[in-house]
A and B are shown apart, each in its own frame.
Chain A
Amino acid sequence: MNNQLAIQIDNCQFRYQSDSDKALLQIAHWQVEKAETVFVYGPSGSGKSTLLNLLAGILLPQQGTIMLDGVILNQLSHRKRDAYRAQHIGMVFQRFNLIPYLSVGDNIKLASHFSQHDKQQLQQRSLELMDALQLEGRLLERPASQLSVGQQQRVAIVRALINQPALLIVDEPTSALDSDARDSFIDLLLSQVKAAQTTLVFVSHDRGLSQHFSSQLDIQSFVIAGEPYAV
């Protein structure tokens, strides 16, 4: 079914058990087309990471459905949800993406471990991605802890894309970068996403970045109960 939406959330309600009287997120309906690049913004503590954890299948909503590519994520078993994330979702965080004592190559292998492709194809693909993200191939042997923050973030993208995921979730990846590095980082990210037709959900509190993306979402519209919000 080629025309399925990348993300479709319906009647979704999430609350942390501790303050159960009030819903933290309430999403009547939200959908994202395939290959769309969504910019999600809002002040810190407004529920952006909660949304990402729901999309990644780490947190489960109390009500409603979260559907990715036609698969209802919150109805899968724990095991299948973890397997789905490994195969179909790539993630890049603010920082601490890499395991510092492993080499860059081993960090990438942590993800490609779940891939169906053979080793040589994966090796080839990681070199291509490294090259596209302006990382030298010789860095593969280096311990991740010896890389600059900018290099680490780019390696994180290589790793997130190595399994050719349908959805890439990126959480404030540029907060540790200076403005020049930030712009080039976003350019590299978007060109890769475009080339692979990957759906991108990019979260930031910095609205100045929003111009790079095809659509925008104010997270606070999910916090207020009621009104359906379509993009």
Chain B
Amino acid sequence: MLFKLAWKSLMARRVSVLLTVLMMTVSIFVLLSVETIRYQAKDSFTKTVSEVDLIVGARTGQVNLLLYSVFHIGVPTNNISWQSYQEIASRPAVAWTIPISLGDSHQGYRVVGTSTDFFEFFRFGNKQSLQFQHGNTFGTAFDAVVGSEVARQLGYQVGDAVILSHGIASTSFSQHDDKPFNITGILAPTGTPVDQSVYVSLQGIEAIHANWQGGVKIPGAAKPDLENLQPEAITAFMLGLNSRIQTFNLQRQINEYPQEPLQAILPGATLMSLWSMLSSVEQILLLIASLVLLGALIGMANMLLVSMRERRHELSVLRALGYRPGFLFALLQIEALLISFVAAVAAFISLQLSMYGLKDWLLQEYGVLLTRLSILNEFMFMLPIVLLASFVVALIPAIAAYRQGLHQQLNL
């Protein structure tokens, strides 16, 4: 009876109720979006690299090493020698390595010197491997593979020539224009910094710097012998182990490496500690979304409170029939909960639909890869909170109805 009465009463005031539902829907949509973005951002951030057991570089801060080796942010402080790299890579515990050599750029995008092992062993997200959208990996020293964002922004296709710039500024005066690279492959979008990088071989990096000294071109020098080019140093490398158990052992050995000062970090743990530094932004987003919801709840409470005036007769009739003031309290609460519930479900459905609808567009336009499409978990987490908040705020009209029931006379 209570539920039926609440429902019919809402339907009888459907215009103002609909507007209130709409207001609540918008605010819950915002809250649910923020919650989803929080999850997605954290998820895709902490899964920028996966399956990499250690990242090795010159001794610097843990976060710093992670920033320049994975996110290509900041400047590497020092290199590690080719000998050290070779020595560690050849240890029996090590399954594979990916060398990283930084320092050049192309139109503001970082150029990464690496080996073809990168395309074979690098994993991101849920152990996903890199896929080629077009073309293939590099074969010769002057081949390049570009990330999806680079290709999209600069309109590159397989076969195009790119000229690298010395240094990492977006406008560089030193161009490696004597040795253009040929694009052999374009990677599929990943939603990670890989999309915004240009990959060339270590030989290529060596070759374009072969005739340089102190950052300047030496004109008229002899052509380098491409086959026998061997780098003297690289910036960092990632490695995977045959067995995870050896991780800490090897990390300690690298950190105490006698020939030169090296440092090995666990990418997962360092990503988490970096994320916790960024989390104040998500806290603020969540706070704003919660305030928006609070505003909508107060609007709903106000709508119910105002409706009490036009429902004076109705409440009086119920009292005359023997319904207790507690019934009126429950009636108002159920109306509030119905509004909140319908709004929450509407917000859930519309966000879920827009995620499916905008998935491709987000990836194309913003390089945002939705790692998980279902927001059911977020919804199930949010729903009780929204309903509880609705109950608390609806105490205002519900208590008013209770008091009105207690004191109002039946004379109309």
Q: Which A residues have a C-beta under 8 Å from some C-beta of B?
A: 49-50, 52-53, 56, 58-59, 78-79, 82-87, 89, 91, 93-102, 106, 109-111, 113-114, 159, 171
Q: Which of B11, B320, B323 has the most CB atoms of chain A within a 10 A radius of its CB?
A: B320
Is B8 part of the binding interface, using a Cβ–Cβ cutoff of 8 Å? yes
Q: Which B residues have a C-beta under 8 Å from some C-beta of A?
A: 1, 4-5, 8-9, 11-12, 313-314, 316-325, 409-412
The B interface is mostly helix, strand or loop, or mixed, namely: helix
Chain B residues with CB below 8 A from A98, complex form: 317
Chain A residues with CB below 8 A from B320, complex form: 56, 85, 91, 93
Nearest to A102 among chain B residues (CB) is B8
Nearest to A101 among chain B residues (CB) is B12
Question: B322 to A49, Cβ gap below 8 A?
Answer: no
Chain B residues with CB below 8 A from A171, complex form: 411
Q: A101-B9, A101-B11 are in contact. Are A58 and B322 (CB under 8 A)?
A: no
The docked-state distance in angstroms from the alpha carbon of A159 to that of B321 is 9
Question: A53 to B410, Cβ gap below 8 A?
Answer: yes
Chain B residues with CB below 8 A from A52, complex form: 410-411
Total A-B contacts with CB atoms under 8 angstroms apart: 75
The docked-state distance in angstroms from the alpha carbon of A29 to that of B4 is 44
The docked-state distance in angstroms from the alpha carbon of A200 to that of B317 is 19
The docked-state distance in angstroms from the alpha carbon of A35 to that of B1 is 32
Question: B322 to A87, Cβ gap below 8 A?
Answer: yes
Chain A residues with CB below 8 A from B316, complex form: 96
The docked-state distance in angstroms from the alpha carbon of A50 to that of B410 is 9
Known: A93-B317, A110-B318. 7 other contacts (CB 8 A): A49-B411, A50-B409, A59-B409, A93-B412, A101-B12, A106-B8, A114-B321
Q: A101-B11, A109-B1 are in contact. Are A95 and B321 (CB under 8 A)?
A: no
Chain B residues with CB below 8 A from A59, complex form: 409
Which residue from A58, A79, A99, A113 sits with its C-beta under 8 Å from B410?
A58
Query: Smallest Cβ distance from B254 to chain A, in angstroms?
Result: 76
Nearest to B4 among chain A residues (CB) is A106
Which residue from A58, A79, A84, A110 sits with its C-beta under 8 Å from B321?
A110
